[in-house]
């Protein structure tokens, strides 16, 4: 059996992929896949055996590019095994589309980009574009699992209220969860891209607590205990982005510390240095992420929900109950943007 070096206390192992879906737009999609330490990854081991010449890491590109050529029974077993993988997607399209609507209202025309290009005050145009990018990043963060969890806890009186919370505010200086955009400044990368990547990662750590806090009927004390336990678990991420793991850890620590007094000295580690060459579950997550990305590109949210049992989209768990409303909203903004793009193309 192909075995790897994996922290024993990590509950899951994950990896991600991204794609800019349309060269004409700034739209970016981050797909993060999460494999439980308890998951049966026989499907991955079977795939691994198909590539005997690969001595170290089985890359997702090798698998996905040739997946349709595999025997039908193997494809069926892989698809069945993948159902247990969790998929966390952040798609910036809706946020970018709404920012365009704001700009159209400001300039009172559809082709505001042409107006900006022809603006003699180039510095003003740059500042305006930067301001809209920051607005998009903020909207991504407002939909993040952390902000959803904060809202659920505040609504239910489980964070920042009551006798226990009063003590927390006095002794630990509790603050509201901040939207610090400076943390997403990374060289020449757009802050929207970095925010989308970080938020997709945070779903690994916070999504269970978001779901629980939104439907729990437990009393405040017991609910606090459950939320703290859910967020204070170890997870492992593929090496390569320490800043992303630090940000996710900061989000996690905010809730772990502020829901149960005294927990700050007992926080579980988040591992951001996993060498995927030595971790079979991280490689499995890489393959799941790439397959999830392909399914999303070809068949959207419905396709993802058909293949995976657990999907979050822009910070929200997608189920049979809410998918219809999400698809309707998506269809509306897609048709609007396509209609406007055609009008602009006709003017060129």
pLDDT single digits (tens) 164-220: 344 444 444 444 566 778 778 776 778 999 999 999 999 999 999 999 988 766 677
Q: Are 253 and 288 in contact (CB under 8 A)?
A: no
Nearest to 290 by CA among 141, 143, 85, 41: 85
**pTM here?**
0.88
Question: Torsion-angle region of residue 13: left (phi > 0), alpha (psi -120 to 50) or beta?
Answer: beta
Asked if the structure places residue 283 within a domain, the reply is: yes
Q: Which residue has the higher pLDDT, 306 or 115?
A: 306
Q: What is the mean pLDDT of the chain?
A: 85
Edge-to-edge strand order for the sheet containing 86-91?
Answer: 270-274, 234-238, 10-19, 29-36, 86-91, 310-313, 316-317
Asked if the structure places residue 2 within a domain, the reply is: no
Which DSSP state fits 91?
E
Report whether pLDDT(70) > 70: yes
Asked if the structure places residue 228 within a domain, the reply is: yes
Print the domain residue range for 86.
Answer: 10-347
Residue by residue, DSSP assigns 29-85 as EEEEEEEETTS--HHHHHHHHT-TT--S---HHHHHHHGGGS-HHHHHHHHHHHTTS
Asked if the structure places residue 1 within a domain, the reply is: no
Asked if the structure places residue 213 within a domain, the reply is: yes
For residue 304 the two structure tokens come to 């993802």
- Give pLDDT tens digits for 87-134: 999 999 999 999 988 888 888 888 787 777 777 677 887 888 888 899
- How much of the chain is in helix, strand and coil states, percent to nearest 5? 60, 10, 25
Asked if the structure places residue 3 within a domain, the reply is: no
Sequence-distant (6+) residues with CB within 8 A of 174 are 160, 165, 168, 258
Asked if the structure places residue 268 within a domain, the reply is: yes
Report whether pLDDT(2) > 50: no
For residue 302 the two structure tokens come to 């419905």
User: Which phi and psi (to 5°) does residue 279 adopt?
Assistant: -125, 110
H/E run at residue 218: none
Asked if the structure places residue 5 within a domain, the reply is: no
The domain tally of the chain equals 1
Nearest to 317 by CA among 214, 169, 179: 214
The confidence score (pLDDT) of residue 40 equals: 95
């Amino acid at each position: 059996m192909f075995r790897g070096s994996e922290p024993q206390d990590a509950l899951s192992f994950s990896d991600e992929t991204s794609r800019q879906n349309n060269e004409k737009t700034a739209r970016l999609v981050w797909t993060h896949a999460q494999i439980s330490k308890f998951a049966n990854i026989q499907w991955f081991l079977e795939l691994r055996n198909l590539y005997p010449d690969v001595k170290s890491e089985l890359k997702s590109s090798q698998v996905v590019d040739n997946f349709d050529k595999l025997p039908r029974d193997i494809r069926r077993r892989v698809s069945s095994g993948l159902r247990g993988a969790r998929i966390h997607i952040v798609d910036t399209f809706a946020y970018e589309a709404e920012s365009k609507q704001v700009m159209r209202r400001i300039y009172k025309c559809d082709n505001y980009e042409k107006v900006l290009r022809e603006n003699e005050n180039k510095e003003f145009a740059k500042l305006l574009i930067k301001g809209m990018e920051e607005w998009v990043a903020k909207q991504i963060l407002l939909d993040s699992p952390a902000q959803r969890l904060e809202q659920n806890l505040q609504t239910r009186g489980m964070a920042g209220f009551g006798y226990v919370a009063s003590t927390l505010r006095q002794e630990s200086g509790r603050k509201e969860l901040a939207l610090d955009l400076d943390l997403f400044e990374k060289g020449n990368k757009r802050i929207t891209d970095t925010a989308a990547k970080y938020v997709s990662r945070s779903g690994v750590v916070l999504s269970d607590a978001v779901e629980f806090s939104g439907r729990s009927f437990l009393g405040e004390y017991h609910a606090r205990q459950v939320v703290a336990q859910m967020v204070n678990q170890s997870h492992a991420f593929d090496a390569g982005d320490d800043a992303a793991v630090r940000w996710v850890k900061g989000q996690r620590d905010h809730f772990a510390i502020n829901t149960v007094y005294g927990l700050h000295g007992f926080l579980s580690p988040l591992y951001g240095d996993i060498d995927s060459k030595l971790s079979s579950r991280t490689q499995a997550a890489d393959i799941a992420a790439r397959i999830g990305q392909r399914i999303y590109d070809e068949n959207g949210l419905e396709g993802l929900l058909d293949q995976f049992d657990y999907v979050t989209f822009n910070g929200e768990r997608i189920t049979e109950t809410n998918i219809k409303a999400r698809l309707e909203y998506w269809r509306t903004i897609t048709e609007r943007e396509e209609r406007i793009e055609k009008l602009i193309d006709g003017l060129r």
